[in-house]
Amino acid sequence: MAMMSMVEAIRDAIDTAMEADERVVVFGEDVGYFGGVFRCTQGLQKKYGKSRVFDTPINESGIIGVAIGMAAYGLRPIAEIQFADYVYPGYDQIVSEAARLRHRSAGDFTAPLVIRMPCGGGIHGGQTHSQSPEALFTHVAGLKVVMPSNPIDAKGLLTAAIEDPDPVIFFEPKRLYNGPFDGHHNRPLKSWKDHPLGDVPAGRHHTPLGKASLLSEGDEVTVLAYGTLVHVALAAVTELGIHADVLDLRTLLPLDLSAIRQSVEKTGRCVIAHEATFTSGFGAELAALVQAECFYSLEAPIERITGWDTPYPHAQEWHYFPGPKRLKAGIRRVLDGTIERVS
Amino acid sequence: MGIFRVLKVNQHGSRREGGRQGVLLFATVSAVSGIGMNSDHANDTVPSPRHLEPRSALELHVPEPLVRPGGKPDFSHVPIPPAGDARRPAEDAPACDIHDLARTVVRVLDENDRAVGPWYGDTGIDTCLKGLHAMMKVRAFDDRMLLAQRQGKCSFYIQCKGEEAIAVGQRLVLEPGDMCFPTYRQPGLLIAQDFPILDLMCQVFSNSKDALHGRQLPVLYSSKAYGFFSLSGNLGTQFVQAVGWAMASAIQGNDRIASAWIGEGSTAESDFHSALVFASVYRPPVILNVVNNQWAISSFQGVSGGESATYAERAHGYGIPSLRVDGNDFLAVHAASRWAERRARANLGPTLIEWLTYRVGPHSTSDDPSQYRPKEENEAWPLGHPIERLKNYLTGGGHWSEEQHEQTRADLEHEVRESAREAETYGTLDSGPMPRVSDMFEGVYADMPDHLKRQRALLGGG
């Protein structure tokens, strides 16, 4: 075990996988000599050489396209997209190619690759460095979608993603890279070094995809969250002084529906939180599933607390970000059984 | 049609040939690695070699710059021909007749900053003085905003230090009504037109007078009135839009032209190639500018294919005339831009120009170039500094003096400082006041749909 930031945990997962399996290769914009703009691949080129860790041209379609070709050959590529906001030129390669290769070739060819990308706001990145496009990928058959909320899970889930036989979209909430963040942006920065979830196991650490993690336990309400919003949810619950289940979904697809069902059947109330925009966000899928699976247990309408349906603004970032204040109000409404229509 | 033909070939082909051997090979690797194999082994099949004789093992070529931090800067891979060497063809010369101009460097100012050769002549002293003033103003503005970022008054800043001549020089050949599709390193397109720097600063500070209402990152300006298309911040996306804008001018039988901008790193994006193919097919009035400043964050120009061909040569496959020009030479920039502008205006179609320059500063305030390139590399750049060279040209001809230069520098510094002071009275990102919070809901659509009105009401506030 060692105290690590999320950046270090991601690097450690890649390092461990590269050490164990020479098929693992890493590439993306600035990932080689420089080690990535967030330093997730720092030192790896020096250790494993330029043929396994290298810079690519600025072409996301190309990065993902060559990853598919390498994966089809038999390698285990880990492609980095510098910001999730830049993935769109590669979307066709992901949606039409990587996601369907196994199915359309009847298993003749497959694409076991990982596409890592920093997502989410909180760094004043404006509309081109802040987006959370996870729902654009959960909507696509053939992809797995992961978003860890802490260093231990980042390492475990990335290990599972690298070993997975199918393409995995791996979102890294950039505001969590160097410390937990609960949405109180005016408070001093916290470090993972002082956090129990920063104590990362050494060596191969595998966390199965499709398993949620219960980070707070209680019977009054269930909060479903992932990524940065997990920490906002924990803060909101603590500040409200209530007993709530905070379920960190960790993997959006495949989804741990049994953990969700178990919790909501116990609490009878459900709040869903994510940073991405509201309409057709992953929260809509969650709400529909909870409604269908737990209808007879529900004692209040399901509430969704999300980013607004606008581009991510630069100056008004903290009014866009669904912070503890909005989440607490949402939880309060669900506890009181009142409704506030968002859409 | 194509896909059916492929399927037919596959019916008679032997795509599984040698598959078994491949499985065994990788099963061994897998056992060593300890990573569990799933039941689907299809991915692990590789074709067996058709030839039994030994061959040398393949090796991936991964470009690497000649020098890294700690090393002695070396630009031997950028040969610089003498100033005045490159010929000046007629404006209606076909692309195939000027391929040589994509490998040389069009230069006007020589080592002693005297103007020489066939590209000299179009640029009058008044234009040079205007250009010098604009370039110095860009530099003063950059310096001040960099300081403001360090003081926490804005979230982020991007300098264009060392690249001032390119945007300023080109803007001075364009006319009102023409449209530039810039990158974030061309504020010179605005400043050369005396765009109010106060307004630029209010955008950088994301304050209550920010014309973009705090929606965009600093430096991602927009001004239709000044022919400056809204900067998205994504790379390369707007290069092809410039081609579309120019096509529209041709469709409407107008005489307006477009100027597209991209960095050498972003020429790797598919949008660059889309732009070239549309420009090739429809021959719209557009100048396709590739600013080769050697570095895309930490990636040297070899990572975007600069080792194999020049960026100007990219145009050859599309039959588009292209030039490779000294971007730190204001007179060369102005003359080459004028040549391309006349071609566009005369319905002779697009021109691609690669501007050779050097990114003196970091990529942005979030970057630390000492991690990946020698600190002294800027001083070794063989094409010098654009402001210095133009100043020397003008003083050498008796049109300018050290005293005038120093006075202008001081005046601009004062003007910029006073503007920054005024901009700060309208707020900074750090201290406010900022644009209205509810503004984020406006302008998403022309008419706000009900769901956004409800969300705006939920958020509350001003």
Phi, psi of A114 (to 5 degrees): -120, 130
Please tell me the predicted confidence (pLDDT) of residue A340: 65
The helix/strand/coil state of B262 is strand
Q: Is residue A78 part of a domain?
A: yes
Q: Is residue A205 part of a domain?
A: no
Residue A139 annotated in active site:
no
Taking residues B197-217, report their average pLDDT. Answer: 97
Give the contacts of B38 (CB within 8 A, at least 6 positions apart).
A165
Q: Is residue A145 part of a domain?
A: yes
Q: Are residues B184 and B294 in the same domain?
A: yes
Query: A72 vs B43: CB contact, 8 Å cut-off?
Result: yes
**B28 pLDDT higher than 50:** no
**B18 pLDDT higher than 90:** no
Q: Which among B332, B287, B290 has a CA at the least distance from the CA of B81?
A: B332
**A145 pLDDT higher than 70:** yes
Q: Is residue B118 part of a domain?
A: yes
Beta-strand ranges (E) seen in B385-451 are none
Q: Are residues A102 and A145 in the same domain?
A: yes
Beta-strand ranges (E) seen in B120-210 are 179-181
User: Are the beta carbons of B106 and B325 closer than 8 angstroms?
Assistant: yes
Query: B435 vs A316: CB contact, 8 Å cut-off?
Result: yes
Look-up of token digits 């003008």: B394
Q: Are residues A60 and A169 in the same domain?
A: yes
Q: Are residues A154 and A234 in the same domain?
A: no
The CATH number that applies at residue A101 is 3.40.50.970
Please tell me the predicted confidence (pLDDT) of residue B462: 42
Q: Is residue B431 part of a domain?
A: no
Beta-strand ranges (E) seen in B183-336 are 258-263, 286-292, 295-296, 299-300, 322-326
Distance, in angstroms, between B360 CA and closest chain A CA? Answer: 18
Q: What is the crossing angle of helices B386-396 and B164-171, to 10°?
A: 60
Instruction: Tell me the per-residue pLDDT of B107-137, one tens digit each, with 9 for 90 and over.
Output: 999 999 999 999 999 899 999 999 999 999 9
Chain A contacts in chain B segment 13-52 (CB below 8 A):
22, 26, 29-30, 33-36, 38, 40, 42-46
Please tell me the predicted confidence (pLDDT) of residue A343: 58
For the beta carbon of residue B18, count every other beta carbon within 10 angstroms: 15
Note the maximum CA span of chain A.
Answer: 59
Distance (Å, rounded) from C-alpha A237 to C-alpha A329? 11
Q: Are residues A54 and A96 in the same domain?
A: yes
Q: Is residue B359 part of a domain?
A: yes
CB distance from B439 to chain A under 8 Å? yes
Q: Are residues A175 and A283 in the same domain?
A: no
Taking residues A12-18, report their average pLDDT. Answer: 98
Q: Are residues B16 and B141 in the same domain?
A: no
CB distance from B430 to chain A under 8 Å? no
When divided into structural domains, chain A yields a total of: 2
Q: Are residues A9 and A148 in the same domain?
A: yes
Q: Are residues A135 and A261 in the same domain?
A: no
Q: Is residue A208 part of a domain?
A: no
User: Are the beta carbons of B180 and B224 closer than 8 angstroms?
Assistant: no
Secondary structure of A206-238 as H, E, C letters: CCCCCCCEEEECCCCEEEEECCHHHHHHHHHHH
DSSP one-letter string for B88-114: ---TT--GGG-GGGGTS-B--B-TTS-
Give the contacts of B251 (CB within 8 A, at least 6 positions apart).
none
Q: Are residues B246 and B329 in the same domain?
A: yes
CB distance from B59 to chain A under 8 Å? yes
Distance (Å, rounded) from C-alpha A311 to C-alpha A117? 19
When divided into structural domains, chain B yields a total of: 2
The one-letter amino acid code at B295 reads W
Q: What range defines the domain where residue A308 resides? A: 213-336
Distance, in angstroms, between B286 CA and closest chain A CA? Answer: 23
**Which of A110, A204, A309 faces B452 most closely, judged by CB atoms?**
A309
Query: B216 vs A126: CB contact, 8 Å cut-off?
Result: yes
Taking residues A229-254, report their average pLDDT. Answer: 98
Q: Is residue A262 part of a domain?
A: yes
Query: B216 vs A342: CB contact, 8 Å cut-off?
Result: no
The CATH number that applies at residue B141 is 3.40.50.970
Distance, in angstroms, between B122 CA and closest chain A CA? Answer: 37
Beta-strand ranges (E) seen in B127-183 are 179-181
- In percent, the amount of chain B with pLDDT more than 90 equals 87
Chain mean pLDDT for chain A = 97
- Dig out the tokens for A298 from the structure: 């529900």
Distance (Å, rounded) from C-alpha A223 to C-alpha A244? 7
Q: Are residues B12 and B158 in the same domain?
A: no
Q: Is residue B214 part of a domain?
A: yes
Query: A30 vs B297: CB contact, 8 Å cut-off?
Result: yes
Number of H helices, E strands in chain A: 12, 14
Please tell me the predicted confidence (pLDDT) of residue B5: 37
Please tell me the predicted confidence (pLDDT) of residue A337: 83
Query: B60 vs A51: CB contact, 8 Å cut-off?
Result: yes
Distance (Å, rounded) from C-alpha A17 to C-alpha A168? 15
Q: Are residues A9 and A149 in the same domain?
A: yes
Look-up of token digits 């082909």: B13
Note the maximum CA span of chain B.
Answer: 81
Please tell me the predicted confidence (pLDDT) of residue B52: 60
Please tell me the predicted confidence (pLDDT) of residue A60: 98
Instruction: Tell me the per-residue pLDDT of B232-264, one tens digit each, with 9 for 90 and over.
Output: 999 999 999 999 999 999 999 999 999 999 999
Distance (Å, rounded) from C-alpha A12 to C-alpha A200? 9
CB distance from A29 to chain B under 8 Å? yes
Please tell me the predicted confidence (pLDDT) of residue B213: 97
Beta-strand ranges (E) seen in A56-148 are 76-80, 114-119, 144-146
- Taking CA atoms, A141 is separated from A94, B297, B304, B367, in Å, by 11, 35, 33, 38
Between A and B, how many CB-CB pairs are < 8 A? 175
**A221 pLDDT higher than 70:** yes
Chain B contacts in chain A segment 108-137 (CB below 8 A):
108-110, 112, 124-129
**Which of B305, B371, B452 faces A57 most closely, judged by CB atoms?**
B305
CA quadruple B351, B356, B359, B360: dihedral sign? negative
Q: Is residue A294 part of a domain?
A: yes
Confidence of residue B433 (pLDDT cuts 50, 70, 90): very high
Q: What range defines the domain where residue B24 resides? A: 2-44
CA quadruple B445, B446, B451, B454: dihedral sign? positive
Q: Is residue A140 part of a domain?
A: yes
The helix/strand/coil state of A182 is coil
Query: Which run of H or of E encompasses A3?
Result: strand A2-3
Distance (Å, rounded) from C-alpha A335 to C-alpha B4? 60
Chain A contacts in chain B segment 177-216 (CB below 8 A):
206, 210, 213-216
CB distance from A21 to chain B under 8 Å? yes
**B30 pLDDT higher than 90:** no
Q: Are residues B175 and B260 in the same domain?
A: yes
Q: Is residue A207 part of a domain?
A: no
Distance (Å, rounded) from C-alpha A132 to C-alpha A126? 12
Q: Are residues A194 and A271 in the same domain?
A: no
CB distance from A105 to chain B under 8 Å? yes
Look-up of token digits 């005293």: B403
Q: Is residue B52 part of a domain?
A: no
Q: Are residues B236 and B114 in the same domain?
A: yes
Has the ipTM of the complex gone over 0.90? yes
CB distance from A43 to chain B under 8 Å? no
Q: Are residues B255 and B389 in the same domain?
A: yes
Locate the chain B residue with the closest alpha carbon to A60: B269
**Which of B46, B233, B435 faces A73 most closely, judged by CB atoms?**
B46
Instruction: Tell me the per-residue pLDDT of B329-340, one tens digit each, with 9 for 90 and over.
Output: 999 999 999 999
Q: Looking at per-residue confidence, does B199 or B42 come out higher?
A: B199
Mutate to test the interface with A, among B299, B364, B370 (most CBs of A within 10 A): B299
Say if residue A133 is preceded by a cis peptide, omega within 30 of 0. Answer: no
CB distance from A59 to chain B under 8 Å? yes
Q: Is residue B64 part of a domain?
A: no
Q: Are residues A218 and A196 in the same domain?
A: no
CB distance from B265 to chain A under 8 Å? yes
Distance (Å, rounded) from C-alpha B345 to C-alpha B386? 28
- CA contacts within 13 A on the Cβ side of B13: 9
- Strands A244-248 and A213-216, how do they pair? antiparallel
Instruction: Tell me the per-residue pLDDT of A76-132, one tens digit each, with 9 for 90 and over.
Output: 999 999 999 999 999 999 999 999 999 999 999 999 999 999 999 999 999 999 999
Please tell me the predicted confidence (pLDDT) of residue B55: 82
Beta-strand ranges (E) seen in B237-382 are 258-263, 286-292, 295-296, 299-300, 322-326, 351-356
Please tell me the predicted confidence (pLDDT) of residue B48: 53
Q: Are residues A132 and A272 in the same domain?
A: no
List CB contacts (< 8 A) between B293 and chain A: none
Q: Are residues B173 and B285 in the same domain?
A: yes
Question: What is the helix, strand, coil percentage profile of chain B, to 5?
Answer: 45, 10, 50
Instruction: Tell me the per-residue pLDDT of A253-293, one tens digit each, with 9 for 90 and over.
Output: 999 999 999 999 999 999 999 999 999 999 999 999 999 99
Q: Is residue B50 part of a domain?
A: no
The CATH number that applies at residue A298 is 3.40.50.920
Instruction: Tell me the per-residue pLDDT of B65-117, one tens digit each, with 9 for 90 and over.
Output: 999 999 999 999 999 999 999 999 999 999 999 999 999 999 999 999 999 99
**B461 pLDDT higher than 60:** no
- In percent, the amount of chain A with pLDDT more than 90 equals 98
Q: Which among B141, B224, B147, B215 has a CA at the least distance from the CA of B182?
A: B224
Chain mean pLDDT for chain B = 90
- Strands B179-181 and B258-263, how do they pair? parallel
Q: Are residues A164 and A289 in the same domain?
A: no
Please tell me the predicted confidence (pLDDT) of residue B118: 98
Query: A86 vs B234: CB contact, 8 Å cut-off?
Result: yes
